[in-house]
Amino acid sequence: MSEFLEYSLLGILSGGVTALVALSFVLIYKGTGVVNFAVGEVMMLGAYLYYAGTVSFGLTPWVAFGLALGVLGLLAVAVERLVLRPLSGQPAVAVLMATIGMASIIHGGVEATWGGDTYSPPTLLPRTPLMLGEILIPGTVLGNFAVAALLIGGFLAFFRWSKTGIALRATASDPVTAATLGINVNYAQRLTWVLSSLVGTVAGVLIASSAGLSPLLAAAALSVFAALILGGLDSVLGAIVASLIVGWVEAVAAGYLGGKSRDVVPYVVVLAIMVVRPYGMFGTRTIERL
């Protein structure tokens, strides 16, 4: 029983970072209708910049973290202006291919600069573990979950109550009407890319500083697809709940069926749920007239 509790707890806690990555996808999809395949590479680039800042330039972790956020934010502004805005109005597939192209450029650039080795960047958060009765929770797991929870809570509040958050929701739902109400749609879409990029960077740095840094980090974003499909691509709340569920399923599967099963079992579970709820748990139900 305590074994099951331990797996469950670790799984749900590790689902927090998964939720951040999922949020990075959902923000873009909701705000601009684009499935951004470069999320994993953004995470990876952010993490490598953090590594370079701390290890190569000897900056303190928080300064390096801030710089990585700044660079990725500016990069998002540039990409939105130079790549995505010219593509607006083009078929979704064209934009999707552009994000895949950007992903390869970043991936290749990172491998060319830092190689394929695994590095261990310094941790951002204290490593004090927590003992809960018999269960030991590593400090990084706890810290990552806390940061993810704070950030996600902040985002939910931002979208619910702030003027800018409401403007972003209006733009996502109907850009034409939003513009006639005086909302600057270009600005809203730029902000969406910046926010998504910042969230991805935070996730990347958290993962790298707890699990090590290599180009494989980008693949972590792909494993989030199980959660995205389950939660519905256009639901922030769905992405969060689904990430926690997928984290839990992964940890329990890995605990009882062996480490390899963690890549398979979540998809089997998601597939089973999709048969019953094809739009995901929280996704928007669309009715197509034939």
Partner 1 sequence: MDPSASASPPHAGLDTAPGLPLAVEQVDLRFGGIHALRGVSFAAAPGQVTAIIGPNGAGKTSVFNTISGFYRPAAGRILLGAEDVTHVPVHARAARGLARTFQNIALFRGLSVLENIKLGGHHTMKGGVLSALAYGPATRAEEMALRAEVERKVIDFLEIDHIRHQSVDALPYGLQKRVELARALAMRPRVLLLDEPVAGMNREETEDMARFILDVQEEWGVTVLLVEHDMGMVMDISSHVVVLNFGEVIASGTPAQVRAHPQVVEAYLGAEAVAA
> Residues interacting with partner 1, by CB under 8 A?
162-164, 166-167, 169-170, 173-174, 176-177, 179-185
Closest approach of partner 1 to the CB of residue 162, in Å: 8
Tell me, rounded to whole angstroms, the distance of Cα 80 from its chain centroid: 18
Please identify, using beta-carbon distances, which residue of 58 and 286 lies nearer to partner 1: 286
H or E element that contains 270:
helix 265-276
Please identify, using beta-carbon distances, which residue of 2 and 90 lies nearer to partner 1: 90
- DSSP for 186-228? HHHHHHHHHHHHHHHHHHHHHHHHHH-BSGGGGGGGGGGHHHH
Please identify, using beta-carbon distances, which residue of 98 and 236 lies nearer to partner 1: 236
d(CA 248, CA 135): 16
Closest approach of partner 1 to the CB of residue 178, in Å: 8
Residue among 224, 227, 221 nearest 282 (CA): 227
Please identify, using beta-carbon distances, which residue of 14 and 192 lies nearer to partner 1: 192
CA dihedral 36, 219, 137, 227 (to 10 degrees): 50
Query: What is the number of H-type helices and E-type strands within the chain?
Result: 11, 2
d(CA 65, CA 47): 9
Please identify, using beta-carbon distances, which residue of 156 and 185 lies nearer to partner 1: 185
Closest approach of partner 1 to the CB of residue 55, in Å: 34
Closest approach of partner 1 to the CB of residue 231, in Å: 17
Q: Find the angle CA(243)-CA(147)-CA(194) to the nearest 5 degrees.
A: 80
Closest approach of partner 1 to the CB of residue 286, in Å: 12
Please identify, using beta-carbon distances, which residue of 4 and 187 lies nearer to partner 1: 187
Closest approach of partner 1 to the CB of residue 215, in Å: 38
d(CA 9, CA 41): 29
Please identify, using beta-carbon distances, which residue of 59 and 179 lies nearer to partner 1: 179
d(CA 288, CA 290): 6
Closest approach of partner 1 to the CB of residue 182, in Å: 3
